[in-house]
Amino acid sequence: MMIRGLCFGGAVLVLVGAASGGCSSDSSGGSSSGTSGSSSGTSGTSGTSGTSGTSGASSSGTSGTSSGTSGASSGTSGASSGSSGDAGQDSGPTPTCAAYCAAIKANCTGAVNTQYITDADCTTACAAFPVGLGSDQAGDTLGCRLYHAGAAAQNATLHCPHASAWGSTVCDAAADKECTTFCEVDISACGMGAGKPYPDLATCKTACMAWGRSTDRVNAAQPTSGDTYDCRAWHLLKAMDGAGTDLATHCPHTANVSAQCHL
């Protein structure tokens, strides 16, 4: 049986040893409890750190704003994509005879690939071409010929015939055997009507469709004779030099019946 001691101002009334332990226990318990309570209270003030919730809101809000900015950037990207689409529809700069003649002269050289005898040939022939678009790569247009004249810098053997006045079935309508271009250029250089190689475009095209092709396709050097399209086209190149003697000498050889090209 335990007997509790009473303490007053540190005096021991009963069972000094036991009281001392009890006293010590009560004193320790009360003091610790109080201190603990105080600590708990102090710790409780750490609830102030709970305002970090405000920080969380602020941070979250800021993050949300950043996300919005990111969305705006995405919209800008979409707009750029639209601009790119417009660029895809670009037909390129308007083709010019000056650009065409400069390109074909620079890129189509040598005995086989040179297409015009003189600069005047090119200028005269070019005046007869439909202009077309800068993006053309096929069809009877100046744009098509200009494209292939430029491409000839990489492959002259392939592209120079396409860039020529005759178009070599790429820059002319293959179905009419390059006759539309020949006849348009012939009428432009030599004229049309009485005393000219052809009275009209239709007569020229009908005659042209019956002509064969030379083994050596027309270029600046050949062929000078033979009942072929290529012989007549070569004499047309010579006629386009522009000098009066060239017109008088070579235009007659572009006709369906000719001393040079109809043996």
Can you list the positions of beta strands (E) in the chain? Answer: 7-8, 11-12
Instruction: Dump pLDDT digits (tens) for 111-136.
Output: 889 999 889 889 989 998 999 999 99
CA 111, 216, 241, 147 dihedral sign is: negative
User: What pLDDT is recorded for position 244?
Assistant: 61
Instruction: Dump pLDDT digits (tens) for 207-225.
Output: 999 998 887 778 888 888 9
SS3 call for 175: helix
From the CB of residue 129, how many other CB atoms can be counted at a distance below 10 Å?
25
User: What pLDDT is recorded for position 243?
Assistant: 61
Cα–Cα distance measured from residue 163 to residue 151, given in angstroms and rounded to the nearest whole number: 9
Q: Report which residue type is found at 109.
A: T
Q: Report which residue type is found at 212.
A: G
DSSP-assigned beta bridge partners for residue 7: 12
User: Which has more pLDDT, 80 or 169?
Assistant: 169
